[in-house]
Amino acid sequence: MRFFAWFGVFLAALLLEMAVLPQFFGALAPSLTLAVLIPGIASQRFWPGFGFAAAAGLALDVVAGGGIHTLVAIGTFFSMQAFRALTQWEEPLDRIGAVACGLILQPLLQFVGAHVADSVFGAAAVPLSVSDIASVSYLREISFAAGWFMLFVWFEIRRVRRYRAGRLMHL
């Protein structure tokens, strides 16, 4: 059930990102799909999370093309699962750390995904340079990601605090 809820939110974010936000921000529209994809993967178990990553990547590939979105989404899933398996932290640090890992590895995953898509599909990979890091769109994307990550951390800590307080009341 959680899979369908997250996928519905993802499709709504995709529609908003593709149809509405470009009217206001132009080419500098923030990536709402990434803000839904990473917490959606982190909040599900292994197989539903894998299915969500694959379905979300396929939905992005259908809308945006290019063939790299599915590779990046599945790479994000596996990097987050590897982080969780290596750390073995308790909630909320487990989920927060997995989201941070998925967010931090996005540039690397997109770089690798672009070159894999280039070699497999023959699509031209966009070369990256240092000037791309200092661009306005990159800085806006980083600030948007930092903002939603801080909001996610705040909600996650509140969720765990309420859950633990509720369990203490039942003792």
Q: What CATH number has the domain spanning 2-169?
A: 1.10.1760
Measured between alpha carbons, how far is 151 from 78 in angstroms, rounded to an integer?
Answer: 24
**Spatial contact of 68 and 51, defined as CB atoms under 8 Å apart:** no
DSSP string, 75-110: HHHHHHHHHHHHH-PPTTHHHHHHHHHHHHTHHHHH
Going from N- to C-terminal start, the domains of the chain cover 2-169
**What pTM did the predictor assign?**
0.84
Indicate the pLDDT class of residue 127, thresholds 50, 70 and 90. low
> What confidence category does residue 150 fall into, taking pLDDT thresholds of 50, 70 and 90?
very high
Instruction: Report whether 4 contacts 53 (CB < 8 A).
Output: no
pLDDT digits (tens, 9 = 90+) for 51-109: 999 999 999 999 987 778 999 999 999 999 999 999 988 888 999 999 999 999 988 88
Percentage of the chain exceeding pLDDT 90: 50
Contact 65, 42 (CB under 8 A): no
Residue 100 has a pLDDT of 94
